[in-house]
Amino acid sequence: MKYLRKTMETLKIRYDESVFEQFKLYRNLVLQWNQKVNLTAIKDPDDFEIMHFVDSLLCCVHPAFEKGENVIDVGTGAGFPGIPLGLCFPNKKFTLVDSLNKRIKILNQIIEELGLQNVTAVHGRAEDLSKLMLYREKYDICLSRAVADLAILTEYCLPFIKVGGWFGAYKSSNTEEEIKRSRKAIQLLGGKWGTITSVPIEGLDLNHQILWINKIKPTTAKYPRKAGIPEKEPLL
């Protein structure tokens, strides 16, 4: 776990040596389940460590993450970034959301085997869950590594966030046009464009960025729209 160790030192994340054994167990469990259910295309141990573990932790540089206590991970897939963050920050609470119940059942078993008390996995579509009082505007931070345009992700994610909270979207480089397209959606949903964070890790060629949006006012009740509409008719 040399890449993970280097990243945690760069990001000034405090750790106990035992955390690396938990990360190894997590990787092994994902790859074991991957033989039955498609969780990741990345199987090489070093690539897995860099593209899943290292990448997941890069949100830590934003001051809002340090202050936030309640975090939701939308479209979590195999648990990224929620579980790596949960392993590193036991004093924060993480809710993992995915629309595929099969994945959530697997994640719940992985969470149990890792002994994580601060991570919960929930089955449901973001459009439906964020309409419920249990989840709507309850989170300090929303994160997503889901592959979707920022205008669409904003409609999925901003309704979960408290006023004053932040949404961080994990993206590759060259995001200028995507940011421009999302301006209307951000405003309609109660957000304000924030900033981009990117952390170079020595020895790694990771060109990923995290796009940050601040929640400055409540999201009106009509958003998010019904399932399927945000993808078909983005708020452009």
Residues of the chain with pLDDT > 90: what percent?
89
Banded pLDDT at 236 (limits 50, 70, 90): confident
Closest by Cα among 139, 77, 79, 81 to 112: 79
For 2-232, the fitting CATH number among 3.40.50.150, 3.30.70.890, 2.20.28.90, 3.90.1150.10 is 3.40.50.150
Q: What is the mean pLDDT of residues 39-49?
A: 92
Domain boundaries, the chain: 2-232
Average pLDDT for the chain:
94
pLDDT given at position 68: 96
The three-state (H, E, C) secondary structure of 199-227, written as one string = CCCCCCCCCCEEEEEEECCCCCCCCCCCC
Q: Which pair of tokens denotes residue 64?
A: 């809002």
The tens digit of pLDDT for each residue in 79-99 reads 999 999 999 999 999 999 999
Mean pLDDT along residues 122-127? 96
When pLDDT is cut at 50, 70 and 90, the band that residue 75 belongs to is: very high
